[in-house]
Structures are given as C-alpha cells and as structure tokens.
Amino acid sequence: MHFDTNNGKVGIGTTNPARSLHVRGDAIRLDRDGINPNLMITRWSSGYQDLLKSFTIGVAANNTSDGYFLIADRNQTLGGVGALRRIGLSSPASHASLTPDASQNRKS
C-alpha cells in the first residue's frame, strides 16, 4: 500500500495512484457478516455542502442458490429505503434480468 501524502492519494498495487483511491489488481472484495455487503456511491455539491444523489450497489442472498445483485437509488439520503433495481437469475440456466421491485427495498 502506498500513501501519497503530497496529493492525498492512496495506491494499492501501485506506487503512483491516479485517483484518491487507486487499486490495481484482480479484484476488490467486500464481506459483511450476517448483513448484505454494499458499496455506496454519492454525488455532492461543491465543497460537500449538499448531498445531490446517492446509490447503493450490493448483493443479497438467502442461501447459495437464491441471491441477486442490487442497485438502489437512495435519492438524497445516506440510508433507509431506496428504489431497488434487482438483477437476478430465476434459475441457473436463465439469463439475467433487470427488474424494478419496490417490494424489495432494502436498508444499508
């Protein structure tokens, strides 16, 4: 891990980070025990005064054969219920589908 203290950047797998966090390698892994892991992406106004938009990307699973990828539009909140877009497989041989599912709203 490389800390570029002059520019406030962190590099993992690189000593020359191009962004605030620059990861070079095969994957980034998120684990969370008992609760679905999520990555939150937010857009703020200049100076971080106002939250403009927030999305959560994650996975949910009840067991090894019943799970899905989710994208939740949280509008201008950092938690709570969001408009979920669920990507899952109804059976192992089927194709993926993107389905709005308000009944499946999640909290992070």
Q: What is the pLDDT of residue 13?
A: 93
* 74 burial via Cβ count (<10 Å: 0-12, 13-18, 19+): buried
Tens of each residue's pLDDT in the chain, 108 residues: 999 999 999 999 999 999 999 999 988 888 888 777 788 888 999 998 998 988 888 888 877 877 777 788 877 666 665 666 666 654 444 445 555 555 554 444
**Residue among 25, 21, 27 nearest 4 (CA):** 21
Residue-range domain boundaries for the chain: 1-29, 31-104
pTM, full prediction: 0.58
